[in-house]
Amino acid sequence: GAAGGVEAVATFLSMQNGIIPPTINYEYEDPECDLFYVPNNAIEREFKVAMSNSFGFGGTNACIVVKKYAPEGRTI
């Protein structure tokens, strides 16, 4: 459906505005998993690359990786 498109737009807007959305209802940290989940509150952070995953019924999966555009010879 259209959820993947909405997720992609949310990813683009997050990159443009420098805001990482939170993992809602994250309560208990697993000491064996050293990932940063952005628990419960969004954070401001500039980032150049992002990935959005979409999972559909019947095992349909799609991923999109996006990177901020930088004109030739310039860095972001």
pLDDT tens-digit readout, 27-56: 888 899 988 889 999 999 999 999 999 988
Q: Which residues pair with 43 in a beta bridge?
A: 20
Q: Which of 4, 11, 39 is nearest to 23 (CA)?
A: 39
Please determine, for residue 26, whether its predicted confidence score (pLDDT) is greater than 80.
yes
Q: For position 3, what pLDDT does the model report?
A: 86
The structure tokens 């030739």 sit at 72
Please determine, for residue 1, whether its predicted confidence score (pLDDT) is greater than 80.
no
What CATH number was assigned to the domain covering residues 3-25+33-67? 3.40.47.10
Domain ranges of the chain: 3-25+33-67
Can you tell me the mean pLDDT for 14-39?
91
